[in-house]
Structure 1
Amino acid sequence: MAYPMKLAKWWSRVAAAVTGAVLALVVPAHAWAASNGVADLAVEAARRRSRGGFGFFGFGLLCCLFVVGGVILAIVLISRNRRRR
């Protein structure tokens, strides 16, 4: 079996395991939050939060930009390494 085929088979197994684990944790947590009144509490907290700090461009957006930049950097570095061969 060629190396890329082994890698693809391994990657698909890991992806399936991670997907199963995430769904096993997220679905019950969502059901609990929907039936427990936590959703109303979260909506109320979102309405009352202060608008200080970064304002509209909050920490979540800044973190998202760093993650997207990291992914783009990884793709560029991987594509450069493939061109050299």
Structure 2
Amino acid sequence: MNLLRTTWARLGALATAVFVAVLIPSAAWAASDTGSMVIEAARRRRGTGFGLIGLLCCLVVVGGIVLAVLLIMRGRRGGRR
């Protein structure tokens, strides 16, 4: 039960850190004049969205995050024995 509580606390801290580090500055940037110009330009642009390069970039980033979490978890597990 203690492991579950610790894991839940770490996931909550991670989610809070991601929210503070990514979403709040993004919202502040989008509220500025520069952000509104970029958003307006994106609305006018017609295309397929991310495209193949954006999809590959997203997959590489997600894969890197998963790999980092797995390596951290493996290191913690190996140190206890």
Structure 2 length-normalised TM: 0.48
Higher helix share: 2
| Greater gyration radius | 1
Structure 1 length-normalised TM: 0.46
Kindly indicate whether structure 1 or structure 2 has the higher relative contact order, using CA contacts under 8 Å at least 6 residues apart. Answer: 2
